[in-house]
Structure 1
Amino acid sequence: MRVFIAGATGAVGSRLVPLLVAAGHDVVGTSRSAERLGDIEAAGARGVVMDGLDAASVRSAVLEARPDAIVHELSALGGVAPDLKHFDEQFAGTNALRTRGTDHLLAAAGEAGVGRFVAQSFTGWPNERTGGPVKTEEDPLDPSPTSASRQTLEAIRHVERATTEAGGLALRYGGLYGPGNVIGRGGELLAMVHDGKLPLVGGGTGVWSFCHIDDAASATAAALTRGGPGVYNIVDDDPAPVSEWLPELARIIGAKPPRHVPALVARPLIGEHGVSLMTKVRGSSNAKAKRELGWELRYPTWREGFRTGLG
């Protein structure tokens, strides 16, 4: 099929383009910058410049491409570790792409008669922070998010609602790691762990679900031909508390064990949202994605992925 990837030079898009080309698909990928089109074309796709926040730009790019499917991977993070005290402010660009950008793409998809629409979402901290440690797609998102994350959670709700109401699939990626990510060789978060600047806050009881970047790409490829409309958690098999994965990551990269910091001490530095990530968040189950998308993970656990897949 002809696949239109909005955001083809981003974290997932850059891994997805060669995967789809190798599978025989005709791929058109977008970038905000003409300078990045060479990366798309080097992977075997056709590159086009598109501004995801400009309705006319999106409409023109989609109608000219005449795709069978659209994959929405637009973001504006650029591989920077989150500023947890100013979370919404840092995610403002991505939130605009999750709201206005999604609406522009869906409008163009409807006009072009696109049959399949797959959009990027996120799981982990958006989960309700009560009850069991691992949530499914049937569990609600957090009804009482931290004050620093309310706008970002609302943008996630929007992209999921708009996508599924249009008959599409919203893929909730877990914490991504691997080449080109903050948890990857040269990434900012990995550097913080290496330098002892990422402490274990409180009891480290927050549960995280990870996903290697290549597994996120393979799940996205599977969603182009499998699965019905709805949301899917794209995470590995091994949700783990911070008290487990953070010391193990430090050990794997040869860093000293993270120091322990009480939550009350950490709060002025990383805010309510940062403390929540370390102590309250819930993980996610991938059972639905494995069952309905026929998805098989290259890295079923972050334990192996951290050892061999950081890049």
Structure 2
Amino acid sequence: MKVLVAGATGVVGRRLVPMLLEQGHQVVGMIRSSRADDLAALGAEIVSVDALDASAVLEAVRKAEPEAIVHQLTALSGASMRNFDRGFARTNELRTTGTDNLLAAAKAVGVGRFVAQSYTNWTNDPNGPAVQDETAGLDPNPIPTQRQTLAGIAYLERVVPEAGGVVLRYGNFYGPGTHFSPGAEYEKLIRSGGFPIIGGGTGIWSFIHVDDAATAAIAALDHRAPGIYNVVDDEPAPVAEWLPELARELGAKPPRRVPTWLGRLLAGPAVAHLSTRVRGSSNAKAKAELGWTPRYASWRDGFRHGRG
């Protein structure tokens, strides 16, 4: 199959492209500006396109003539948790305008398969069950600093299935190239004591290794019916459980605890929300309908063996 991967140099794209090539697929990697010599050396064709330029996207898709498009476009580097919507502004554009451009090009060229990246965890209803499936819907009342970002996610999750595509809601990434990789942002914060447990640490996180995210995208290529799927591991866990274990794994001191009001003041409302109120996600539907199973069934094993 010939697959166009939009966002080929992103966190998931860099893991996905080699997997597709190893399985014998032809791959066209669509990137904006970063270098992709390593992917080209493996056999991928690389095209440089601004995903927000509709005519350029259409031209690239027409030239490539793919049988499938995998939309992994984000702009997460430098995103700010304190100024959440401002930090995710480019990603929000890619989830709205970028998605529209790819869908329009897919329709014009007759691409039969479309898979798009979304997100799950803080998007869940904090007043709902501790672990939620795809029927639960998105948070009806997001905190103000996350409203624009949630609106972008909701938009993508509406238009892609309407066009016959599949949406993969990825949990919190860890593994190579992520904030949890060796030497990256979160590891530095944990080692320095700058990643505290806020309040009771009752916010429930759902994780996914980037390689497992990539294998879910491959599984979705074989699924012709539209739908939305949570792509997370088997063990949602509260911050008070996973953060101390990761600190032990890193050889760092146990994370300090701060009251919720102080965490909100120091880190902002989004971080306090993530630490105290978010709800986890279930992967049962993806397992049953996509035939997908994560290699790292739990973040416990993944943190120990799969971060680098």
How far apart, in 1, do the equivalents of 2:128 and 2:20 lie? Answer: 39
Alpha-carbon separation, structure 1, partners of 2:191 and 2:30: 34
> In the alignment, what sits opposite 1:184?
181
Check 1:296–1:149 CA distance in 2 against 1; reply closer, same or farther (3 A cut): same
Matching of residues 54-133 of structure 1 within 5 Å: 54-78=53-77, 80=78, 82-133=79-130
Q: Tell me what 1:264 maps to.
A: 261
Write the distance in 2 (CA, Å) between the matches of 1:12 and 1:60. 24
Residues 164-204 of structure 1: per-residue CA shift (max 9 Å, x gap): 10010010000000010001112111211111100000000
RMSD over aligned CA atoms reads 1.0
Which deviations, in whole Å up to 9, do the C-alpha atoms of 1:103-144 show, x marking residues without a partner? Answer: 000000000000000000000000011121000000010000
> What is the letter of the counterpart of residue 5 of structure 2?
I
Q: Which runs of 5+ in 2 are unaligned?
A: none
Amino acid at match of 1:264: W
Provide the residue aligned with 1:308 in structure 2.
305
Alignment check: 8 A CA contact 1:178 1:310 kept: yes
Is 1:199 matched up with 2:180? Answer: no
Could you report, residue by residue, the CA deviation over 1:207-258 in whole angstroms, capped at 9, with x for unpaired residues? 0000001000000111001262111000000000000000001000111000
- Residue 223 of structure 1 aligns with which residue? 220
TM-score (norm 1): 0.97
| TM-score normalised by structure 2 residue count | 0.98
Structure 1 contact 119–171 (Cα < 8 Å) conserved? yes
**Residues paired across the two proteins, number:** 308
1:75 and 1:19 mapped to 2: Cα distance? 20
Cα distance in 2 for partners of 1:130, 1:71 equals 33
Aligned-residue identity in percent: 56
Q: Distance in 1 between matches of 2:52 and 2:235?
A: 36
* 8 Å contact kept, 2:80–2:88: no
Give SS of 2:230's match. Answer: strand
Question: 1:42–1:156: structure 2 CA closer, same or farther, 3 Å change rule?
Answer: same
| Secondary structure of 1:84's aligned partner | coil
- Tell me the distance in 2 between the aligned counterparts of 1:115 and 1:142: 31
Match of 1:22 in 2: 22
Aligned to 2:243: 246
1:171 and 1:32 map into 2 onto residues whose CA distance is: 22
CA contact (8 A) 1:233 1:285 kept: yes
Letter in 1 for 2:52: L
Q: Which residue of 2 aligns with 1:52?
A: 51
Match of 2:9?
9
Cα displacement (A) at 1:93: 0.5
Q: Which moved more, 1:291-300 or 1:236-245?
A: 291-300
Instruction: Give the one of 270, 273, 277 matched to 2:274.
Output: 277
Q: Which residue of 1 aligns with 2:153?
A: 156
Query: Residue 15 of structure 1: SS of its match in structure 2?
Result: helix
* Contact 1:174–1:210 (Cα < 8 Å) also in 2: yes
Aligned residue in 1 for 2:231: 234
